Each structure stands twice: as structure tokens, then as C-alpha cells.
């Protein structure tokens, strides 16, 4: 902007000089003065050309700045939209389980985050399979008769609770029996008794595990939630020996 102002002041000075010379044209001018007037006119023409060129460049820069401003404004709107619409349930890393840690208490199992141990040795670490959270498109594709009054957040809260039960169960299974108390040993034996050749290498829970490690009620509503999770291919059922096993996919 200062460059344009300098040019403008310079041109204004030139024009003033020419105006004075024209005022003197009423009298007879010497030949050298007429030549000087021609030189001033030529210089003024050159200055006007430079001025027009500079104005054109500034106009292009202004256009470019307006485009950048629009792009920046759109990015700001996108960021605000993402900030206001962050999903409550985000995919999480697999939960490491250390067999030497104490058994998770029932009230702790309701919180999945407490199932993550610290300072786990690599030689004694394994990962427990967990169900991924249900996405909004998946939830919307569930038939309405199957959803009933269960909301998106309630369904994903159930996913977290089931994951907590799985984590707590396999935490016990990875522990050394010698380090367990009587209650943990009984649970360990029940877990082993419920395994079959079809569950080898699979992670599953039963209704008793849900009651043991979570605050969820195993009722008709819970059965409806299981139907939705099967529909979304998060788990499958395996029956046998009077027990229904919910295997994570």
C-alpha cells in the first residue's frame, strides 16, 4: 500500500509541475522550455503505465486474499462442526491383560478404562478382543422393531459393558491360579468348564459374566440389545450344556 501511495504522490507532483508549465504557455516559451514540457509529459505517461501495472498486481493479490479468506472460513466452520459433533463412542486400542495383576472388582469392571494395566511386561502381555462401537450408519440400518426404545448411546454403553465383562473374565483366565483368592478360583474354574472345542481361540461371555462384572440388568431389554449386536455382526451365539455363549466377532 505504501508503494502505491508513493507513486500517487509522485504523479501528483508531476501533474502539478505540468499544470504550472501550461499556465506559463500563455506567454511565448523558449525552445528549451517546450522540450522540457515534452519530457515531463513522456515521463508522466511512463509513470501512469507503472501505476496501472501496480494497481493490476494489487487487484490480483486482493482476489487471491479473498479466496484464501473464504477457504479459511470454510475450514473454521468444518473445525467447529467436528468439535460440536465428536462421537461419544470412539474406537479404542486393544486392552492389554497381565496375568500377574489382581482380579478386577465388580464395581471396577463397569469402567472399561480401569481394565488397562500399567507397566505391563512384554513377555506376559496378551490382548483381549473387544467389540467395536456401533457407528451411526449401522445404528440407523437396524430395523425399528428391533431397536425399540434403545438409543444409540444406550446401545454403545452396552457394548462397553460387555467389553468390560470380557476384559475382567480373561484377566482372571490369564492369572496364575496360585495368586487368586477363593472367589477368583471358582470363577476361573467356571470359565474353563464353559469352554468347548468350538470356543477355542474365541472370546466369549455368558449372562453370569455380565451379572458378575457389570451393572447391566440381564432382562428382556438386554436380550433386545443382543439381537441388535448380532444384527450388526458384533457377536454370535453358541448354545450347549444349558449355557448360551456370546462370542465376540
Confidence of residue 127 (pLDDT cuts 50, 70, 90): confident
The pLDDT score that the predictor gives to residue 48 is 79
3-state secondary structure of 90: coil
228 contacts 217 by C-beta, under 8 angstroms: no
**In this prediction, what percent of the chain has a pLDDT beyond 70?**
75
The pLDDT score that the predictor gives to residue 12 is 77
pLDDT tens digits for range 194-204: 999 999 989 99
Q: What distances in angstroms separate CA 130 from CA 37, 72, 93, 204, 211, one per listed residue?
A: 90, 40, 9, 10, 18
Confidence of residue 103 (pLDDT cuts 50, 70, 90): very low
Confidence of residue 16 (pLDDT cuts 50, 70, 90): confident
Angle at 35 between CA 37 and CA 51, to 5 degrees: 45
Residue 22 confidence (pLDDT) above 80: no
Indicate the domain borders of the chain. Answer: 2-84, 95-248
Average pLDDT over all residues of the chain: 80
How many Å apart are CA 171 and CA 167, to the nearest integer? 6
Q: Which residue has the cell 444409540?
A: 152
Count of C-beta atoms within a 10 Å radius of residue 233: 10
Q: Which tops the pLDDT comparison, 119 or 26?
A: 26
Q: What share of the chain is helix, strand, coil (3-state, %, to 5)?
A: 65, 10, 25
Residue 74 confidence (pLDDT) above 70: yes
- Sign of the CA dihedral running 53, 59, 62, 63: negative
The pLDDT score that the predictor gives to residue 226 is 95
C-alpha cell at 4: 502505491
Mean pLDDT, residues 40-44 taken together: 76
The pLDDT score that the predictor gives to residue 47 is 77
CATH of domain 95-248: 1.10.10.1890
Mean pLDDT, residues 129-158 taken together: 92
Confidence of residue 33 (pLDDT cuts 50, 70, 90): low
The pLDDT score that the predictor gives to residue 6 is 72
Give the predicted TM-score (pTM) of the model.
0.55
Q: Going along the chain, which residue ranges are E strands?
A: 95-98, 125-128, 204-205, 235-240, 243-248
How many Å apart are CA 156 and CA 137, to the nearest integer? 13
C-alpha cell at 227: 439381537
Residue 111 confidence (pLDDT) above 90: no
The pLDDT score that the predictor gives to residue 131 is 92
Highest mean pLDDT among 23-27, 37-41, 66-70, 89-93: 66-70
How many Å apart are CA 118 and CA 22, to the nearest integer? 92
Task: Name the pairing type of β-strands 95-98 and 243-248.
Answer: unpaired
State the DSSP code for 149. T
Amino acid at each position: 500500500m505504501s508503494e502505491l501511495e508513493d507513486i500517487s504522490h509522485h504523479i501528483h507532483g508531476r501533474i502539478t509541475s505540468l499544470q504550472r508549465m501550461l499556465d506559463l504557455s500563455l506567454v511565448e516559451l523558449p525552445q528549451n522550455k517546450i522540450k522540457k514540457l515534452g519530457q515531463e509529459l513522456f515521463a508522466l505517461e511512463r509513470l501512469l503505465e507503472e501505476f496501472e501495472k501496480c494497481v493490476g498486481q494489487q487487484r490480483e493479490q486482493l482476489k487471491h486474499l479473498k479466496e484464501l479468506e473464504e477457504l479459511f472460513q470454510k475450514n473454521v466452520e468444518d473445525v467447529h462442526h467436528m468439535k460440536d459433533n465428536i462421537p461419544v463412542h470412539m474406537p479404542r486400542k486393544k486392552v492389554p491383560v497381565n496375568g500377574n495383576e489382581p482380579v478386577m472388582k465388580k464395581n471396577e469392571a463397569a469402567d472399561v478404562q480401569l481394565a488397562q494395566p500399567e507397566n505391563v511386561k512384554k513377555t506376559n502381555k496378551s490382548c483381549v478382543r473387544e467389540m467395536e462401537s456401533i457407528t451411526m450408519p449401522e445404528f440407523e440400518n437396524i430395523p425399528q422393531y428391533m431397536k425399540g426404545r434403545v438409543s444409540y448411546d444406550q446401545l454403545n454403553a452396552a457394548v462397553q459393558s460387555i467389553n468390560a465383562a470380557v476384559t475382567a473374565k480373561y484377566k482372571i483366565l490369564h492369572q496364575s491360579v496360585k495368586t487368586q483368592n477363593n472367589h477368583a478360583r471358582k470363577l476361573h474354574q467356571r470359565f474353563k468348564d464353559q469352554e468347548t472345542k468350538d470356543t477355542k481361540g474365541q472370546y466369549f461371555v455368558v449372562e453370569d459374566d455380565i451379572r458378575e462384572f457389570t451393572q447391566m440388568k440381564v432382562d428382556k431389554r438386554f436380550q433386545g440389545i443382543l439381537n441388535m449386536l448380532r444384527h450388526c455382526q458384533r457377536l454370535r451365539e453358541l448354545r450347549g450344556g444349558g449355557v448360551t455363549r456370546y462370542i465376540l466377532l
